[in-house]
């Protein structure tokens, strides 16, 4: 199919508001593909959309199939703003969550710009039916097979064919379940084909999208009536496509986080029962507020193996900070051995009597000797710090030593 290649455009958007690479890899959507270095591409709402990012802008290019009908209005900007929920100020939310929760604060400094997508509810629903007992890599493969086999083909870019997501009608045929089994979907094949039939034939047109207008609990209960949908899948759909920011999906990652950082895993919440699932969600809603699901996604991303490089870097940074603190403390002890002259009398800085006598014989003032010794200490510290590569501590210690020398000098002049 011929394509109408679009130009690159850009939207002003900081990394603290959207970190594209993190958001598209953290298990919300499974169709974005790393197409070129720093670029992500997906077939979305009848177009092939490619995104990239720098420190201050989100760059985008939309490619549409060439149709015989009149050109459609390019609503790509509106689509991007809606899809990434860009009307919500993420920076302010991070500030609020960090103030309420020290555990969140520790992760927030490494995982900025993670926001919830506002996906098509049908795509979101089917994708998370595929997530049962699965990992992100395999879910992505399954969703890609689903689109390639059943979805409308939009075209090819850089040798890769892109298909839009299939509708419920395209997944409800008699042979769908068997086809999905042949593609490796296993028991999920029946869930998908059955749910497609329910949505297409037993619900009103627009029923799924209409769940955005009801409250969280009602939407959650409505989703549980579908085949292959349990509490976690229902919460994922509520959070990621139905505008229910308070929904907190609890899977094995979140359960581990709740045990490790928030005191779950003991007493009546020793195992992940239905009551414990609800208790974890209620705890986070009380802690983080109405957008608890958004906050939970940051901790979820921090727990993923896909972001192990960030975690390793965080561990290295913490180790460097600990080592630096120990060295600084050791130097403070050494500096503390030089005793300043008390404000009101006292013996002041202790000098080696022999060296004082030698200096007097050579016509050197005692105050000058003290100054030189302090400066020599500062120089030795400076050389040490340069070898260790900790310039900030060098300047701090040198400043302290110079201040001590100045005080000694002023007192000797009095």
pLDDT at 119: 98
Q: What percentage of the chain has pLDDT greater than the value 70?
A: 71
The DSSP call for residue 166 is: P
What value, to the nearest 5°, has the Cα angle with vertex 303 and ends 49 and 114? 40
Q: Is the pLDDT of residue 413 over 60?
A: no
Q: What is the largest CA-CA distance in the chain?
A: 109
Question: Which residue carries 């590569």 as its tokens?
Answer: 389
Question: Which residue carries 């409308």 as its tokens?
Answer: 152
pLDDT in tens, 362-385: 343 333 343 344 334 333 433 333
Which run of H or E residues covers position 60?
Answer: strand 57-65
pTM over 0.85: no
pLDDT at 309: 54
Q: Is the pLDDT of residue 185 over 80?
A: yes
Q: Calculate the alpha carbon distances from 397 to 240, 332, 373, 386, 408 in Å.
A: 51, 9, 14, 12, 17
pLDDT band at 305 (very low <50, low <70, confident <90, very high): confident
Distance CA 297, CA 304 (A): 11
Ramachandran class of 95: left when φ > 0, alpha when ψ lies in -120 to 50, beta otherwise: alpha
pLDDT at 322: 56
Half-sphere exposure of 384 (CA within 13 A, CB side): 15
pLDDT in tens, 189-243: 999 999 999 999 999 999 999 999 999 999 999 999 999 999 999 999 999 999 9
Q: What is the end-to-end Cα distance of the chain in Å, rounded?
A: 92
Sequence length of the chain is: 414
Active-site positions read 232
pLDDT in tens, 243-271: 999 999 999 999 999 999 999 998 889 89
- Other CB atoms closer than 10 Å to residue 287's CB: what's the count? 16
Question: Which residue carries 């839009």 as its tokens?
Answer: 164
């Amino acid at each position: 199919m011929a394509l109408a290649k679009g130009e690159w455009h850009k939207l002003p958007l900081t990394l603290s508001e959207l970190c594209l690479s993190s958001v598209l890899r953290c298990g919300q959507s499974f169709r974005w593909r790393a197409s070129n270095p720093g670029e992500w591409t997906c077939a979305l709402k009848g177009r092939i959309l490619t995104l990239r990012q720098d420190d201050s802008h989100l760059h985008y290019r939309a490619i549409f199939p060439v149709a015989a009908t009149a050109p459609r209005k390019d609503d790509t900007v509106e689509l991007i703003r809606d899809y990434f929920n860009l009307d919500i100020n993420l920076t302010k939310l991070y500030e609020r969550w960090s103030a309420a929760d020290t555990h969140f604060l520790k992760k927030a400094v490494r995982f900025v710009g993670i926001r919830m997508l506002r996906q098509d509810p049908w795509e979101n629903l089917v994708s998370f039916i595929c997530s049962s007992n699965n990992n992100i890599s395999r879910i992505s493969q399954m969703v890609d097979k689903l689109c390639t086999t059943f979805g409308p083909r939009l075209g090819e870019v850089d040798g890769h064919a892109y298909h839009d997501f299939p509708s419920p009608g395209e997944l409800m045929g008699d042979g769908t379940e068997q086809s999905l089994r042949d593609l490796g979907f296993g028991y999920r094949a029946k869930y998908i084909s059955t749910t497609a039939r329910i949505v297409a034939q037993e619900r009103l047109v627009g029923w799924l999208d209409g769940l955005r207008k009801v409250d969280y609990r009602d939407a959650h209960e409505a989703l549980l009536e579908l085949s292959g949908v349990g509490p976690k899948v229902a919460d994922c759909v509520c959070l990621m496509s139905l505008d229910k920011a308070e929904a907190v999906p609890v899977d094995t990652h979140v359960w581990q986080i709740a045990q490790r950082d928030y005191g779950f895993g003991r007493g009546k919440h020793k195992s992940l029962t239905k009551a414990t699932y609800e208790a974890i969600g209620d705890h986070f809603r009380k802690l983080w507020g109405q957008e608890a699901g958004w906050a939970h996604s940051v901790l979820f991303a921090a727990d993923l193996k896909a972001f192990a490089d960030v975690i390793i870097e965080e561990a290295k940074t913490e180790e460097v900070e600990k080592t630096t603190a120990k060295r600084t403390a050791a130097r403070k002890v050494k500096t503390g051995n030089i005793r300043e002259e008390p404000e009101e009398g006292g013996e002041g800085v202790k000098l080696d009597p022999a060296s004082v006598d030698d200096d007097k014989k050579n016509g050197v003032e005692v105050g000058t000797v003290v100054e030189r010794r302090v400066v020599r200490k500062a120089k030795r510290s400076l050389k040490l710090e340069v070898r260790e590569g900790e310039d900030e501590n060098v300047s701090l210690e040198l400043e302290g030593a110079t201040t001590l020398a100045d005080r000694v000098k002023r007192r000797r002049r009095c």
